[in-house]
Structure 1
Amino acid sequence: MISMEIERKFLVTSEDFKNQSEKKEKIVQAYLNSHAERTVRIRTKGEKAYITVKGKSSENGLSRFEWETEIPVEEAKDLLKIAEPDPIEKVRYLVKIGSHIFEVDEFHGSNEGLIVAEVELNREEEEFEKPEWLGEEVTGDKKYYNSLLSKNPYSQWKNSK
């Protein structure tokens, strides 16, 4: 099913979110296609696996088309073998703040040290409660897209900001 994904993305200023987390899962993902117009992602998340196709982001970076379906884990592992180099490794923490769930990704591997929080919204102008550990908004900043972090990892640009 194709849906419209609306989300805002923020840097995280402390690890306080870990104490508020309801759940955490290890994620490994890589891209079969990371073209700016569309990405095709393979992801293992806990004991499940998915293939996801995302369209081009809106001009403000808040929304884009997304299609995702679950696939067998063994098939995902096979597809990861032919994916573009440098898969993304991260632990995702789910943190409920008010009526929203923040997905906080603590990156590992070549993106070690980067922590990003995303909140999905029902509409672009929707209000939401901001926790104290939420830092600078990076919605629409393409260098924080996972598909670009796999090509230009945080470890290569974090000191040149």
Structure 2
Amino acid sequence: MIEIERKFLVVSEDYKTNANTKTRIVQGFLNTNPERTVRIRIKGDKGFITVKGKGNKTGVSRFEWEKEIDLTEAEQLLKIAEPGSIDKIRYEVKVGNHVFEVDEFFGDNKGLIIAEVELSSEDEIFKKPEWLGQEVSGITKYYNSQLSKVPFKNWVEK
């Protein structure tokens, strides 16, 4: 239940040519407390509830628990979520032995593209594709829970 994930900005749309899947995701948060976030997500035609704990010092590892829930329940829970939501398309791109999840954001976060790769340890080696830019692991403004409150369009420095 510990998720180890590194996060990067994306510098080009070249990832799209190698994407295996493309799925729309809409999500909101029932709780955005930094100690624990509770997310409701509709991914394609499925609903999910996820609880995430506070990240470690590097921001790369943190507790995560997720469970699939009924789509109608997810839709109802989104109606009582905190203000602000996330709308994005997720592309899954296999690079070497890893799959990068590349999120292209829309709405108030349009223009932001972030890639994440899950690892089995914080020091695991992985191949970095040419479209991968600056690492933003552990920088909280890039967390979806924070993007729902302070969207990319409102950032002074981008």
Pick the TM interval, shorter chain: over 0.9
1-structure distance, mates of 2:36, 2:84: 19
Kindly provide the CA deviation profile for residues 6-30 of structure 1, in whole angstroms up to 9, marking residues without a partner as x.
Answer: 0000000000000010000000000
Secondary structure (helix, strand or coil) at the match of 2:20 reads strand
Secondary structure (helix, strand or coil) at the match of 1:76 reads helix
Q: Does 1:160 align with 2:144?
A: no
Q: Does 1:109 align with 2:110?
A: no
Opposite residue 91 of structure 1, the aligned amino acid is I
Length, aligned pairs only = 158
- How far did 1:133 drift? 0.1
Identity %: 63
2-structure distance, mates of 1:133, 1:103: 13
Q: Residues 14-93 of structure 1 correspond to what in structure 2 (within 5 A)?
A: 14-93=12-91
Kindly provide the CA deviation profile for residues 28-67 of structure 1, in whole angstroms up to 9, marking residues without a partner as x.
Answer: 0000000000000000001111000000000110100011
Show the counterpart of 1:121: 119
Secondary structure (helix, strand or coil) at the match of 2:77 reads helix
Secondary structure (helix, strand or coil) at the match of 1:160 reads coil
Query: 4+ residue runs of structure 1 moved beyond 3 angstroms?
Result: none
Show the counterpart of 2:138: 140
2-structure distance, mates of 1:62, 1:27: 22
Root-mean-square deviation over aligned CA pairs = 0.6
For structure 2, list consecutive stretches of 5 or more residues without a partner in the other structure: none
1-structure distance, mates of 2:105, 2:116: 14
**TM-score between both structures, scaled by the size of structure 2:** 0.99
- How far did 1:160 drift? 2.2
Secondary structure (helix, strand or coil) at the match of 1:85 reads coil
1-structure distance, mates of 2:52, 2:84: 19
Opposite residue 95 of structure 1, the aligned amino acid is V
**TM-score between both structures, scaled by the size of structure 1:** 0.97
Opposite residue 6 of structure 2, the aligned amino acid is R
Kindly provide the CA deviation profile for residues 99-154 of structure 1, in whole angstroms up to 9, marking residues without a partner as x.
Answer: 00000000000000000000000000000000000000000100000000000000
Secondary structure (helix, strand or coil) at the match of 1:155 reads helix
